[in-house]
């Protein structure tokens, strides 16, 4: 079936066109179109995402991105535009409420027209977190319709899934694609949020994750011993506000560490702060994920969310998975931060499960 997916939960207006086939035991996806209009430059001067600015930008960008996807070259390979769709999938939450409404209303409007022509078509509400979670499915080869699933289900589950984004840090045990249990989550800041806040302290632009990663490459990850909050705690919960505060205090006491202060020494110290912070933040994630993997004898680790773009995190989990002789699966680099493709993937799974979510903005929707 053909799915148009719409994502507007934060600061990306992202649409995708997918061809989805297969049952829940082996869903497969072919990406026919994928357009992301990023608002980073609009929010950057404010150091973070401003909800009403996000709404304004989504309203402006949605028709443009839609035209690009439906009217553009992407559509020519599969058929005559909107009316050939079988489903529209739209993020209903969690996210910024004003931003979510823009996507939801846009999807409803499109669906009105689609429904007139194709009575069997569906409007599917998607949980953004399921979008991240299921994005590991994009790691499989999709070139040919009959290409095999990456790894048979029997060798995939039980799995431990780590979702790490700007708003969430969640560890799950999955018994199948549709059956999971939340093991733990952050009690305060999300890990991506900590990256963004520490970057701000170092005078680096928003979003901070890629900036910290870049600066960290030049620093010594063991130069400063920042705390590893809750690393020895029995629970699978996380906490990132204490680590963020430690960096704040360190920078208050070592003003020369701020990279923009100018001198070579300060650049080096700034890099050491970035590298040491990153090391501390990632060590907690990796330690808890590995502990859960051992406890639940899981056969694979799935990593997703914007922070999954962090190369060091991917490498560490890859190394640990090799040691444990299990699979490590993370989405290809383009599908870690918010995108429409993952919403199409999760939309297809919801469609197969006949899950009817309310088509309204649900800012605090949980997994």
Q: What are phi and psi of 354, to 5 degrees?
A: 55, 40
| Smallest distance from Zn ion to CB 263, Å | 37
Residue of the chain from 8, 105, 135, 165 that contacts Zn ion (CB under 5 A): 165
Q: What sign results for the dihedral spanned by CA atoms 118, 120, 125, 131? A: negative
The residues near 148 (Cβ < 8 Å, ≥ 6 apart) are 141
DSSP, collapsed to helix, strand or coil, labels residue 35 as strand
| Smallest distance from Zn ion to CB 239, Å | 20
Residue of the chain from 19, 130, 196, 338 that contacts Zn ion (CB under 5 A): 338
> CA-CA distance, 4 to 75, in Å (whole number)?
11
β-bridge mates for residue 303, sequence order: 162
* Contact call for residue 213 and ligand KG4 (CB under 6 A): yes
Encoded one letter per residue, x for contact with Zn ion by CB under 5 A and - for no contact, window 283-322 reads ----------------------------------------
| Smallest distance from ligand KG4 to CB 247, Å | 15
| Smallest distance from ligand KG4 to CB 331, Å | 11
Contact by Cβ (8 Å): 318, 106: no
| Smallest distance from ligand KG4 to CB 154, Å | 30
Encoded one letter per residue, x for contact with ligand KG4 by CB under 6 A and - for no contact, window 318-357 reads -------------------xx-------------------
Indicate the residue among 114 and 342 with the shorter CB distance to Zn ion: 342
Mark the segment that binds Zn ion (CB under 5 A) among 158-166, 205-213, 280-288, 310-318.
158-166
Residues that bind Zn ion (rule: CB under 5 A) add up to a total of 2
Residue of the chain from 27, 103, 208, 270 that contacts ligand KG4 (CB under 6 A): 208
> How many CA atoms does the CB half-sphere of 258 hold within 13 Å?
13
**Max intra-chain CA distance, the chain:** 67
DSSP annotation of 70: I
> CA-CA distance, 37 to 21, in Å (whole number)?
27
Cα 223 to Cα 250, 252, 257, 271: the distances in Å are 12, 17, 12, 10
Encoded one letter per residue, x for contact with ligand KG4 by CB under 6 A and - for no contact, window 291-320 reads --------------xxx-xx----------
* Contact call for residue 130 and ligand KG4 (CB under 6 A): no
> CA-CA distance, 291 to 225, in Å (whole number)?
22
Q: What's the distance, Cα to Cα, between the start and end of the chain in Å?
A: 25
- The footprint of Zn ion (CB under 5 A) covers 165, 338
- The footprint of ligand KG4 (CB under 6 A) covers 10, 165-167, 192-193, 195-196, 207-210, 213, 305-307, 309-310, 337-338
């Amino acid at each position: 079936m053909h799915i148009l997916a719409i994502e507007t939960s934060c600061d990306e207006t992202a649409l995708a066109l997918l061809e989805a086939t297969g049952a829940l035991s082996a869903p497969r996806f072919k990406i026919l179109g994928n357009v992301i209009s990023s608002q980073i430059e609009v929010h950057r001067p404010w150091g973070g995402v401003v909800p009403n600015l996000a709404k304004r930008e989504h309203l402006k960008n949605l028709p443009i991105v839609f035209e690009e996807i439906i009217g553009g070259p992407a559509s020519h390979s599969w058929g005559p535009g909107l009316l050939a769709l079988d489903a529209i999938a739209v993020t209903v939450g969690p996210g910024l409420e004003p931003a979510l409404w823009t996507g939801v209303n846009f999807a409803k409007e499109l669906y009105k027209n689609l429904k007139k022509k194709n009575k069997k078509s569906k409007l599917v509400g998607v949980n953004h977190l399921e979008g991240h979670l299921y994005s590991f499915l994009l790691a499989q080869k999709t070139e040919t319709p009959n290409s095999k699933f990456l790894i048979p289900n029997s060798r995939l589950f039980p799995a431990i899934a780590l979702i790490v984004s700007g708003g969430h840090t969640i560890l799950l045990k999955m018994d199948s694609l549709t059956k999971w249990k939340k093991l733990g989550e952050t009690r305060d800041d999300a890990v991506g949020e900590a990256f963004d806040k520490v970057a701000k302290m170092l005078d680096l632009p928003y979003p901070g994750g890629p900036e910290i990663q870049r600066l960290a490459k030049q620093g010594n990850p063991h130069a400063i011993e920042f705390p590893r909050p809750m690393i020895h705690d029995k629970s699978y919960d996380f906490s990132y506000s204490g680590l963020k505060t430690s960096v704040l205090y360190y920078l208050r006491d070592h003003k020369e560490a701020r990279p923009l202060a100018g001198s070579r020494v300060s650049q080096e110290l700034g890099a050491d702060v970035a590298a040491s912070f990153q090391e501390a933040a990632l060590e907690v994630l990796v330690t808890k994920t590995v502990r859960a993997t051992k406890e639940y004898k899981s056969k694979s680790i799935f990593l997703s969310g914007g922070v999954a773009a962090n190369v060091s995190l991917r490498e560490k989990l890859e190394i640990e998975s090799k040691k444990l002789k299990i699979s490590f699966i993370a989405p290809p680099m383009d599908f870690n931060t918010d995108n429409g493709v993952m919403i199409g993937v999760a939309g297809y799974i919801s469609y197969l499960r006949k899950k009817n979510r309310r088509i309204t903005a649900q800012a605090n929707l949980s997994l």
